Structures are given as structure tokens and as C-alpha cells.
Amino acid sequence: MNYQTYKPHKDLESIVKFYWTLEVPFDPKNQKQQIVPDGCIEMTFNFGDKIKRFTSETDFILHPDAMVMGQRTKSYYILPIGHVDTFAVCFYPIGFINFVKTPLENLVDKETPIADLFGLSEANDLGQQMIQAIDTQQRIQIIENFLLNILNEKNTISNIVRSTVDALLKTNGTTPINIILKDEVSKRRQLERHFRKQIGISPKQLGKAIRLQATINLLLNKNSETLTDIAYESEYFDQNHFIKDFKDLVGVTPKEFLDNEHMALSALFYK
């Protein structure tokens, strides 16, 4: 697997986390790969063969070649049919709402063709430009021109959502929402409503996804020796709480995650 990341233009760096590319040669021995929630929305372009996303042990759908993957509330499995050649934009949690009017709760756990969000003509034109680009740098230029042309600062995210996301990111998702809002019940209802529209999922779900990213980094990079160390560093109440949250989002325990052939792609994203 060849996985690379690239920084966005300075005018987009508060909205776009990074761009990434992935190339994987076809191998009939390739195993399903489990993808875990990360709290981000991604726009992806597939220039290789089709990719299956499994909806059950045996049933699957095929990813659109140009799509937006909404917020994920659970992990899922994918399997390429052949060669993988993908370019993607990874948006910060507060990023993607700046470009669409669609409530982001409508995109949760779905692959939405970009034509459904930006219009058929606009999507076809963008898709053709991306296909015909000679290299990754040209694709970055194309997608940045597209994003900057439709960016409307008047349609930006509400202050209460932005400040909550900032607080969650700064603390790796460990700060309880009631602490962020100082126990103001009226703000909690307002936040929940705005969050589902502008982020796609609830503040609590986003906090769990952000926290999961931090713990996976600790697991893979050996920064902590034991699960107890990781639970402590990630501010879980205890090891059992950590393992339960991990299994709820990933589908396996932390120990099962390590050296699992189905997790090779997810693990690659953290190294």
C-alpha cells in the first residue's frame, strides 16, 4: 500500500484537514479492510477499479467513483475488486458544511455521489478534470479551485458548534459536553439541533470518534505500554470503559485490533 498525505492551501487549512492518496496493486489474496469512525467527512475520487462496501457478511454495494462519505457512527468493511487508485479530501468536522446546503445528518453512514450535492453538470466537469490530471499536485489544484469558488463565508458554521468542536479537538474528545456548555440546558438543545445539521452527528458521537483517534494512535505508536496506561492517558474512567467504547465504535477490542489483517488499512492511516 502506498498512502500519502498533503497539506491544503492556507485559505482552506481551517476547513480541510489534509488530502490523501492511496494506491494498492490488485492481489487476489487481499482481505476485507475494516474502516473505523474518525469524526471527519471525506470527498473521494476513485480512479481505479470499483470498491465494495459490505452491508452484511456477504451483501455489498459499490462505491460511487466520486462521492462524499458522511460522518460514520460505526465501523464498516470494504474490499477492492481490483487496483486501488484514490484521491480524497479529508474535512475537519466543521469543514464540509461550508460547501453544501444539505443537512449533514442526511449523509451519515452513507456514500453520496457528489452530483447529488453539487449538481450533475458541476460534478461531471470536476470528475473529468480530476481524471485527466497528470499528477497529484494538479488534482490538488483542481479541487482547491473548486472548493474556493463555492466557499461562502456567510454560510459558515454557527458559533456554538464551532466552539464545541474546537474544545473537543483540543482535548482529544475527553471534555464532557455539559462542561463545555457549563450545564446550560437551553444551549444543549440548541447545540444538538445545530450539530446534526452542520456536523451530521451528535456532539457526544463526535467526541467519541475524536477520542478513538487518539487512543488508536497510542496503540499503534506504542506510546503506552498497557491498556491501563492508554485508558488513563485518554481520561477514561477505567480500562473497562475504554474497552467498551473502543469495541462499540470499532467492533473489536483494542487487543484484537492490533495485528489484525482486516485492520491493515485503518492502521496505515495512523502511521
| Ordered alpha helix ranges (H), the chain | 114-118, 120-132, 136-150, 159-170, 177-180, 185-198, 203-221, 227-233, 239-250, 254-257, 264-268
| Single-letter residue type at 244 | K
**Residue 228 domain boundaries:** 159-268
Contact present, 48 and 82 (Cβ < 8 Å): yes
User: Which residue from 259, 19, 255 is spatially nearest to 137, judged by alpha carbons?
Assistant: 19
Q: Per the structure block, which three cell numbers stand in for 30?
A: 487481499
Domain boundary among 133, 154, 175: 154
Amino acid found at 126: L
Q: What total of structural domains would you count in the chain?
A: 2
Q: The domain that contains 179 carries what CATH number? A: 1.10.10.60
Is 73 in the same domain as 131? Answer: yes
Please report, in tens digits, the pLDDT of each residue of the chain (271 residues total). Answer: 799 999 998 888 888 999 999 999 988 888 889 898 889 999 999 999 999 999 998 999 999 999 999 999 989 999 999 999 999 999 999 899 888 888 999 999 999 999 999 999 999 999 999 999 999 999 999 999 999 888 754 455 677 788 888 888 888 888 888 888 776 666 777 788 888 888 998 888 898 888 888 888 888 776 556 778 888 888 787 788 888 888 888 888 888 887 777 766 766 665 5
At 68 the three-state DSSP class reads strand
Side-chain-side CA neighbours of residue 192 (13 Å): 8
Whether 42 contacts 88, CB under 8 Å: yes
Domain boundary pick from 154, 176, 209: 154
Q: Is there a single domain that holds both residue 126 and residue 249?
A: no
Specify the pTM. 0.81
On whether both 99 and 185 belong to a single domain, the answer is no
CATH number for 76: 2.60.120.10
Provide the grid cell at 179. 462542561
